[in-house]
Structure 1
Amino acid sequence: MDSTIIGFRIAEPPLTETMFCTWYGSAVPGDRIVYHRGFLAVDASPLTSTVPDAERRALLRVAERALQLAEDGLVHLVQRRMGESDFTYLAIARPRARSRAGTLASVLAAAKPTSVAA
């Protein structure tokens, strides 16, 4: 289903949104995946894309999911120029924020001192 080229996982066939989310769910910080190869703005546009409409819509869903994860601070999005109008689009997993809920530090920080009656 995928191959490794220069340390990047490249999906074969094109990555779906489900595959992208599955990758993210198991990714550790620094893991990277190629979510598109080409010219994303052109390939995702209904006016300029040369790929079949169903594939274009699937690409758009992956690109939108990648952007949402980036906006949420969960991945870095990087593009690498391979040639004229040819880019490799990568998502790189970021370290996940540690949840402080339920930790001793958060419990102590939220606790109010009580006066002890003598």
Structure 2
Amino acid sequence: MLMVAAIPVRAPVAMPKLTEVELYAWIAQAEAGARLEYHRGFLGIDVTAVISTLLESERRQLADLGQAARGAFEKGLVHLVQERVGPDRFAYIAVARPRPKAAATSLSALLLEERAA
């Protein structure tokens, strides 16, 4: 008789949907090193129209969120990391970076500029 042991799989975390505005708000108040999971899945697939299983409105919202996270990274406000949580499944995490001592522009201005782009 063949015995197979069950391998525990980490259950998906139920999280409220995050908007780009909520991401910006978190960045504005986050302490350096704070972490925020902004998506769980496979972002490249989840935002691609022909293969995503998301509704079109959800897919667009997720694409906007991904772009907002990338823009914040490019401005030096966050680090972006991924943690594998299962086969073809990742946690996408923004980690707040330390604020510059003397910023030429305010954080709000940077985030608003990113949103307008």
Residue from 28, 33, 37 that aligns with 1:34: 37
The alignment's TM-score, normalised by the length of structure 2, stands at 0.74
**Secondary structure of 1:41's aligned partner:** helix
Runs of 4+ aligned structure 1 residues displaced above 3 Å come to none
Determine the C-alpha separation between the residues in 2 that align with 1:26 and 1:67: 18
Select the structure of larger CA radius of gyration. 1
Identity in percent: 45
1:78 and 2:81 equivalent? yes
Determine the C-alpha separation between the residues in 2 that align with 1:33 and 1:17: 13
- Distance 1:94-1:35 versus aligned 2 partners, 3 A rule: same
Q: Larger RCO: Structure 1 or Structure 2 (Cα < 8 Å, ≥ 6 residues apart)? A: 2
The alignment's TM-score, normalised by the length of structure 1, stands at 0.73
Deviation sequence 1:23-81 (CA, Å, 0-9, x none): 11110101110000000000011111101010110001110010011111110000000
Query: Structure 1 regions of 5+ residues with no counterpart?
Result: 1-9, 102-118
Structure with the larger strand share: 1
Is the CA contact 1:11–1:34 (under 8 Å) kept in the aligned structure 2?
A: no
Query: Structure 2 regions of 5+ residues with no counterpart?
Result: 1-12, 105-117
